[in-house]
Amino acid sequence: MTNKRMKVMKKLFKTVCCLGMLAAVIGCSQEPKKTDNLKDAYADYFTIGCALNMANLNSPEQVSLITTHFNSITAENDMKPQPTQPVEGEWNWENADKIANFARENKIALRGHCLVWHNQTADWMYHDENGELVSKEVLFERMREHIHTIVNRYKDVVYAWDVVNEAITDNQDAEVPYRQSTYYKIAGDEFIKKAFEYAHEADPKALLFYNDYNETNPAKRDRIYNMVKSMKEEGIPIHGIGMQGHYNISSPTEDEFRKAIELYSQVVDNIHITELDVRINTGEQGGQLNVEQTDKELEMTTEADAAQAAQYDMLFRVMRDHKNAIRNVTFWNVYDGDSWLDRRHGNRQRNYPLLFDDNLQPKSSFNKVVSF
């Protein structure tokens, strides 16, 4: 072989090698991105949170899982009205303080939940010593004292509050869009406005959210949007909408989920998915908790596992598409065995709604969520 021919062959060999390396690089770039933890996987999108309780904090294994995967937390129950002030003027800070201190020590952001809710609020808030409903002026005075006290206590660590929770009715035929709660019976929708005003007085830097479930249902979605839009036009400091996200493997559809996010983002700059879980029970979602639905126990079959993974995949794909509106995604609890849906009370069916199983191991849904 002549020297000239050898030079040509060497150049050809180098070219083939370079093309092969380029193809390999291109092929690798097309592989789904995957990281081993949630917060790093979504560092360029939104913060990832979970709801905590004392059982979580008392387990070193669960604490390790929390600090590995989450950079935002929410007190599941311990900052709600009744747990913090069961009797007027008598405050119970023990568990709430533990959660706040956990957030401070681990440099994890803390969402406050919640200031005003028709559930888990002690009867003294609404009634006088004779058992009669108080005037709205008395109600507002009590609300202001409660809100100012708790918001001021945690303003160094809480970056956002669910100020009013679940004030819109689920009755699509109701002429009045509001839930007929005791708050509403005393003060109409003014209690919502006052709650936001009081929270903003207490901490002008905190992000303030209206929070609700079944928020992708078109009728309820529109009512939430209309309420927030109207109140913001009055100057009420509502900074965001909390979409609770208690879904199941077949609902919401992608179209329903997208439309809700797109509508809400027209009226607020911040959307948080505040209580995310995806139950395998298709007979309920949102706030529904039917104790007896069928005679059989729901099991996490291969089919159910695949359906749940597909639903989580869709939800996170849509949320990534709307990263300029979605600022936080919080799971409601840490793992299946600790979920509010799966704590065994009576003969409640299991739902297996989260990304980690009873043994704190990642499920198929986890792999879908972190691979994109």
Instruction: Show which residues are catalytic.
Output: 166, 275
Contact at 8 Å (CB) between 72 and 47? yes
What are the C-alpha distances in Å from 257 to residues 135, 215, 252, 322, 369? 40, 9, 6, 11, 17
Contact at 8 Å (CB) between 146 and 164? no
Those residues whose C-beta lies under 8 Å from the C-beta of residue 9, and which sit 6 or more positions away, are 1
Length of the chain: 372
Please spell the DSSP secondary structure of 62-76, one letter per residue: HHHHHHHH-SEEEES
Name the residue with tokens 């794909």: 317
* 181 DSSP 8-state letter: -
CA–CA separation, 225 and 238 (whole Å): 12
Q: Helix or strand or coil: residue 32?
A: coil
* Peptide bond just before 114 cis, omega within 30 deg: yes
Contact at 8 Å (CB) between 313 and 241? no
| The residue type at 208 | L
